[in-house]
Amino acid sequence: MTDKFTAAQWAEMEGGHEVTPIQDASFSFLKEIHESRMTKDNGSSQKLTYSDCGERLYLTLLALETMRQYPEHKATVKAYANKTRGFELYKFYRIMGTDLYNLIYFLVGDDSAQKKLKDPEAAIKLKKTTKIPLRDLNRYINAVAQGRTTPQTTQLFIKLEQALKVTNTDYKAIRRGLNDWSRTTRSDKRTIATRLIFAVRAKLRSSDIIIDFEKWASIKNMEKATAVDPEPTISRPDINTSTNNVVLYRYLVGNDKIAMAKKFLELAKDGRGIPSPAVQAYLPVIEMIDDLVQAGPAYIAQLRSLHKRAKKDY
């Protein structure tokens, strides 16, 4: 049986914008088109935290900017940017939009956008304290879509690093390498590209740019076979340091250490150095974990099982 989309359904999927319906389009055909989409609206976004969206946005832009360094791949990047632009306020989820568009939507859209993510409460809280340089980002996407030069690219990436709290030194090294790409040796380019390839495979495996990026890497022979993949594939948690959550730490660290324990969590989440008083405040939690490890595999298995149950409940 073929399911037809009405004009109203197409308009709803495109975020409230009126769209001419494709009369012969079927649901199965659309599903096939979007089978490998990272942000497809079938629950996939519920696997992503707000922090995941920020990291994947940053990596997507790094991948596009890397491919853009090669004339024969500029058309691919231009076409992708052209599909991304046009809805620059990011008010709606778009099933026909790119993953880049929808990642930005999850980051800057209203609360309904963050409610689609893994931890809605923490995501909404983070959104309120995250200042995405949206005007600069839109300017970059439009320039790429039009095939124009983007002289402020480095500044944009630095602003995104600060806003999204990108602390991965390898990712920053890739950005610096791209800034001086034309003067970088072939060997160093392959080192930089290989690190990005590992990151894209780990974090953007189901994205809509992975095929083009892998094709570019293969054609240009940019992956070093001897390199070791250091990229973790786990999701980055949105650590919720709201008063309601942190106050429960009194059962673990004591009432007198709650404030410093909160400081420990905030600094750890941002990847920043942690002063000794904050470490000392959080030490009872660390010691508790260490006691369980010292007790043996059975206790570790119970801890992991309890952790899984806790994640489902909150």
The secondary structure of residue 248, as a DSSP letter, is: G
pLDDT tops 60 at residue 314? no
User: Confidence band (pLDDT; 50, 70, 90) for 133?
Assistant: very high
Instruction: Look up tokens 């959080």; give the residue.
Output: 282
Helix (H) or strand (E) holding 33: helix 27-33
Q: pLDDT tens digits for 194-251?
A: 999 999 999 998 899 999 999 999 999 999 888 877 776 566 666 665 555 666 777 8
pLDDT tops 60 at residue 11? no
- Phi then psi for residue 230, to 5 deg, are -100, 5
pLDDT computed for residue 8 by the predictor: 45
- Phi then psi for residue 181, to 5 deg, are -60, -45
As a whole-number percent, the residues of the chain with pLDDT over 70 amount to: 80
Q: pLDDT tens digits for 265-280?
A: 877 776 677 888 888 8
**Residue predicted with more confidence, 123 or 244:** 123
Q: Which of 35, 16, 95, 90 is nearest to 57 (CA)?
A: 90
